[in-house]
Amino acid sequence: MNDLLSSQAKEFLSQPIPQFINGTWINSESGKTTDVIDPSSGSKIATVSSGNAQDVNLAVVTADKAFKSWSALSPAERAQYLNRLADKLESESETLAQLEALDVGKAFVNADGFDIPFGIECVRYYADLAVNADYGKTLDLKDMDARVHRAPYGVCGFIFPWNFPFDLLMWNVIPALAAGNTVVIKPAELTPLTTLYVCKLAEEVGIPAGVINVVVGAGRAVGTPLIEHPKTRRISFTGSSGVGKQIASMCGQRPIPCKLELGGKGAAVVFDDADIDNAVEQLAGAITLNTGQVCCTATRWLIHENIYDQFVEKVTTKLKSTVIGPGIDPKTEMGPVVSQAQQDTVLEYLDKGLTEGAVEVLAGGKVSVDGHDGGYYVAPYLLTGSPNNICFKEEIFGPAAFLVKFKTESEALDLVNSLEYGLANSVFSRDIERCNRVAEQMIAGNSWINAHNVFAYGLPYGGINMSGVGGGVNSPETFYDYLRELTIARPLG
Ligand code: NAD
């Protein structure tokens, strides 16, 4: 067991972790378990139950029963539960950050400094919003007493990827709970630990049994039956664009509402009047944050030809100084990628990009870290070449970026908008009018100015085209999305 872990984390990991259904910890129906691997060392850190369709059925039926009483509470009563949960999460934030760093391999400084506190802020944001929300509106119609009434759906299903388990859980599940729904969650099979730890804390603060349920397991074994269950009233999926399309089509068969938050291939446009040091800081940060495994991060860097050489010199110096090490180590700035398979993918992209004619701006790739031989470490790499290169066009999901020089604003915009992804881009310039003009013309859910990866509650975050559909997260709309609308009308006279 890792010496850097708190006693709570050690205790949590010391026994096989069952599923959380109906407020109790139960083994999967099949008795199967799966090992959770530490990407920083390749060794086992925990054993968790591995679920199937029967487990999903139990979880959904349970959540459906719990819906009656949870939805009957007033928004203020539900908010009280959520605020109690937020307090509890806060009191255990260090343990949560350790578990997240250990499980994902992400740098503890980021988990502790951003992921966990920002996720907790989400709980308070939606608890507050639920109390002050509009649960209906009167319609001003001739000869009719008519109104719209908003009510929760019932059981909401959630399927998550492995890169930000805690924040994605909070961003998606909390608004649904605050709106009065009950939930069945399928975390990524690679990184289920903080999701299960949150269940333990939810249990401790007395969130009623059945309101939150978690079944861990593979996509087809758990995700598919969750979508197909007749009592699942809607699905929120975060993950790759390829799987997202399959999920949308399964939801379409029912049909039930389906919200998709998918992959991306973000661009950053750096003009020659930009604050270069800031652009370097932001973009080096973009591919080292969570080891580049961030859906919205900037991995296509479009640099004005007048500053290209200067930018490259500074950014390569910055990236070479990145401290790579085990996620849990507080000195680490960039951890490993999440798995052997992900390491293989990131390295295969490097090979394919070079084979297609790309040139290395910064040579990176597989590295080993002293004392952590089994870890899945990849040093940052930068390529340049044709925008037709595979590494310019496809999501690599690792510490890698592809640089292209540009001359004019319209040329840069054409490059930004040349892909089907539409999640997030950024523009760097001291000319704020130009920044706004360029930002507006970027075809995506989010455009950021002189920064990349900008998040706040109240700032909607979502994608379009291959990057998602259905509203996004972190805004009041996210909350209202978990309420169905019913019209009630009475003709007069
Ligand atoms: P993935 O699509 O492989 O898996 C996501 C989830 O779907 C996992 O829980 C998986 O078990 C499940 N799943 C897979 N096949 C399924 C099926 N047939 N039926 C039901 N469930 C199934 O994605 P990943 O590799 O875990 O995560 C990385 C991807 O997630 C990247 O593309 C990234 O950009 C994206 N992502 C997007 C956002 C966003 O907000 N837009 C946020 C984080 C990650």
The residue assigned the tokens 């390529």 is 383
C-alpha distances out from residue 27 to 19, 65, 355, 385, 478, Å = 6, 21, 48, 52, 33
Ligand 1 pocket test, candidate residues 159, 246, 290, 464, most atoms within 8 A of CB = 159
User: Could you tell me if the CB of 263 is within 6 A of ligand 1?
Assistant: yes
Q: Is residue 2 predicted with pLDDT exceeding 80? A: no
Higher pLDDT, 271 or 471: 271
Residue type at position 69: S
Q: Whose CA is nearest to atom 3 of ligand 1?
A: 240
Ligand 1 pocket member 219 (CB < 6 A):
yes
* Model confidence pLDDT, tens digit, residues 300-348: 999 999 999 999 999 999 999 999 999 999 999 999 999 999 999 999 9
- Cβ(47)–Cβ(36) under 8 Å? yes
Ligand 1 probe mutation, 106, 172, 243, most atoms within 8 A of CB: 243
| Protein residue with least CA distance to atom 35, ligand 1 | 239
pTM exceeding 0.85: yes
- pLDDT value at position 428? 99
Distance from the alpha carbon of residue 237 to the mean position of ligand 1, in angstroms: 7
For the record, the structure tokens of 215 come out as: 């079944």
Give 271's pLDDT tier (boundaries 50, 70, 90): very high
Q: Are the CB atoms for 291 and 336 separated by under 8 Å?
A: yes
Q: Whose CA is nearest to atom 12 of ligand 1?
A: 219
| Minimum-distance ligand 1 atom for the alpha carbon of 217 | 11
> Cα(238) to centroid of ligand 1, in Å?
5
Whether 188 is in the pocket of ligand 1, judged by its Cβ within 6 Å, is yes
Structure tokens at 2: 């890792």
CA 156 to ligand 1 center in whole angstroms: 17
Three-class DSSP category at 132: helix
DSSP letters of 32-83? -EEEEE-TTTS-EEEEEE---HHHHHHHHHHHHHHHHHHHHS-HHHHHHHHH
For the Cβ of 161 lying below 6 angstroms from any atom of ligand 1, the answer is yes
Q: Is the CB of residue 384 below 6 angstroms from any atom belonging to ligand 1? A: no
Residue 493: predicted pLDDT:
82
CB of residue 220 inside a 6 A radius of ligand 1: yes
Q: Which residues pair with 327 in a beta bridge?
A: none
CA of 460 to the centre of ligand 1 (A): 20
What letter would DSSP give residue 394?
S
pLDDT in tens, 355-414: 999 999 999 999 999 999 999 999 999 999 999 999 999 999 999 999 999 999 999 999
Q: What does the pLDDT average to over 37-66?
A: 98
Report d(CA 183, CA 161) in Å as an integer.
Answer: 17
Q: Note whether 98 and 108 are within 8 A (CB).
A: yes
Write out pLDDT tens, residues 438-467: 999 999 999 999 999 999 999 999 999 999
pLDDT given for residue 352 in this prediction: 98
Give the model confidence (pLDDT) of 233-247 as tens digits: 999 999 999 999 999
Which has the closest alpha carbon to 321: 362, 350, 292?
A: 362
Helices (H) and strands (E) in the chain, counts: 17, 24
Please enumerate in sequence order all residues whose Cβ is within 8 A of that of 333, keeping only pairs 6 or more positions apart, or say none.
107, 109, 288, 322, 323, 324
Q: Which residue CA neighbors atom 18 of ligand 1 most closely? A: 220
Closest atom, ligand 1, to C-alpha of 263: 34
User: What would the mean pLDDT of 59-68 be, rounded to a whole number?
Assistant: 98
Provide the pLDDT confidence category of residue 1 given band limits of 50, 70 and 90.
Answer: low
Q: How far is the CA of 190 from the centre of ligand 1 (A)?
A: 11
The pLDDT value given to residue 148: 98
To 5 degrees, how large is the angle CA 111–CA 343–CA 161? 50
- Quote the pLDDT of residue 3: 85
Give the C-alpha distances (Å, rounded to integers) separating 302 from 12, 398, 409, 414: 46, 18, 10, 11
What mean pLDDT value characterizes the chain? Answer: 98
Of 294, 295, 296, the one to substitute when testing ligand 1's pocket (max ligand atoms within 8 A of C-beta) is 295
Cα of 84 vs centre of ligand 1, distance in Å, is 30
* Residues identified as active-site: 261, 295
- pLDDT for position 223: 98
Please check whether residue 470 is in contact with residue 260, taking contact to mean a CB–CB distance below 8 angstroms.
yes
Q: Is the CB of 461 under 6 A from ligand 1?
A: no
**pLDDT above 90 coverage of the chain, percent:** 99
**Which pLDDT belongs to residue 471?**
82
